Amino acid sequence: MEKMNFASKIEELIANTPLYYPHRWLQDQGISEAKFFVKLENFNPTGSVKDRAALGMILDLEEKGMLKEGGTIIEPTSGNTGIGLAAIAAARGYRAILALPDSMSTERRSLLKAYGAELVLTPGADGMKGAIREVQRLLEEIPGAVTLGQFVNQANPQYHEKTTGLEILRDCPEIDVLISGVGTGGTLTGVARAVRKQKASLEVIAVEPDTSAVLSGEAAGKHGIQGIGPGFVPDTLDTKQIDKVIKVSTDEAAAATRSFVRSEGLLLGISSGAALSAGLNLLRDPLYYGKTIVTIMPDSGDRYLSTGIYD
């Protein structure tokens, strides 16, 4: 009998996502001969990059003895971390309680419920700060409950350093520029640290919403780019890794998302569109001609269908 190759645990399906050259999209944007690649994190089991962070932080809590079978995890989430957490919690026998702003899409809420998570909605106007406050209250009420603390837990960027960053180095060792939207900052921080150990000249571009441009020194505000722009600078973001910040409007992000989906046939979310919009800025800048650019595509678009961005 020939040897079979298969996975038997959800964690074995996380990571090793493909690097993709979007040639049709680049052509449709009037760009030729660009060395522009996107890392498709929607290929993770629940459709987003946050599967990595959720797994890394859960493994860290288990290793420290803080999380045992049947335990309860409570987490503030804008959606994707919660989806990854809920899936992994279901597979490992944990109870998941998730606090999220009521401004998050209905698809995200439905996905969370599908995995068996319990939802606590907070006012959208309060942003992630409101969800974080609710988690602190619940932690005091529920004995033995733990939180991943995705905005402060260094296991978040560390897991990206061990996986995402090394994958990019493996698949694209000639990388010159990294573009990443910033939510917790774990992806940008971890990838930048890993790549710079091999290539110190790497330029790192952070992407944030133009109406909540905290990294640019402006005030927090409402925006429509779900998954980035939490309205504060998280502890998991190493700002020293950032060389430049590009601000993107919700309309720009939505337009880039639509154009990519219709050119490439790959359904991505609006935070991917924000990163693509930033990428277009660089591709049209003579300073970046000939540079090899890798852009993180955080998630699938299936959780944004009700938002109208594909209309």
Using one digit for the tens of pLDDT, what is the confidence trace for 159-186? 999 999 999 999 999 999 999 999 999 9
- Domains contained in the chain, number: 2
| Residues counted in the chain | 311
Q: Residue 278: inside a domain, yes or no?
A: yes
The residue behind tokens 């927090």 is: 220
Same domain (yes/no): 171, 35? yes
Q: What 8-state DSSP symbol labels residue 122? A: E
Average pLDDT over residues 39-65: 97
Q: Residue 151: inside a domain, yes or no?
A: no
Using one digit for the tens of pLDDT, what is the confidence trace for 116-152? 999 999 998 888 789 989 999 999 999 999 999 899 9
Q: Is the pLDDT of residue 1 over 70?
A: no
Which is more confidently placed, 57 or 111?
57
Distance (Å, whole) CA 67 – CA 145: 9
Report the DSSP beta bridge partners of residue 122.
Answer: 101
Res 78: pLDDT: 65
Q: Residue 156: inside a domain, yes or no?
A: no
pTM of the model: 0.93
Average pLDDT over residues 200-222: 97
Annotated active-site positions, please?
A: 50, 271
Confidence tier at 203 by pLDDT (50, 70, 90): very high
Q: Residue 17: inside a domain, yes or no?
A: yes
Q: Residue 146: inside a domain, yes or no?
A: no
Q: Residue 99: inside a domain, yes or no?
A: yes
Same domain (yes/no): 125, 189? no
Distance (Å, whole) CA 311 – CA 305: 9
Confidence tier at 18 by pLDDT (50, 70, 90): very high
Contact 278, 225 (CB under 8 A): no
Same domain (yes/no): 117, 169? no
Confidence tier at 109 by pLDDT (50, 70, 90): confident
Closest-CA residue to 39 (of 25, 49, 28, 27): 49
Same domain (yes/no): 300, 181? yes
Q: Is the pLDDT of residue 270 over 80?
A: yes
Query: What range does the domain containing 121 cover?
Result: 50-141
The residue behind tokens 């660089």 is: 282
Same domain (yes/no): 198, 302? yes
Q: Residue 150: inside a domain, yes or no?
A: no
Same domain (yes/no): 177, 134? no
Mind spelling out the 3-state secondary structure of 133-193? HHHHHHHHHCCCCECCCCCCCCHHHHHHHHCHHHHHHHHCCCCCEEEEECCCCHHHHHHHH
Report the DSSP beta bridge partners of residue 42.
Answer: none
Q: Residue 236: inside a domain, yes or no?
A: yes
Q: Is the pLDDT of residue 190 over 70?
A: yes
Average pLDDT for the chain: 95
Based on the number of CB atoms within 10 Å of its own CB, is 290 exposed (0-12), middle (13-18) or buried (19 or more)?
A: exposed
Could you tell me where the DSSP H helices lie in the chain?
23-28, 50-63, 80-92, 106-114, 127-141, 155-162, 164-171, 186-198, 250-264, 270-283
Helices 50-63/186-198 angle, 10° precision: 90
Q: What 8-state DSSP symbol labels residue 300? A: B
Closest-CA residue to 184 (of 45, 6, 26, 53): 53
- Taking phi over 0 as left and psi of -120 to 50 as alpha, with beta for the rest, 265 belongs to left
Same domain (yes/no): 118, 230? no
Res 262: pLDDT: 98
Average pLDDT over residues 202-230: 96
Same domain (yes/no): 19, 134? no
Distance (Å, whole) CA 128 – CA 212: 13
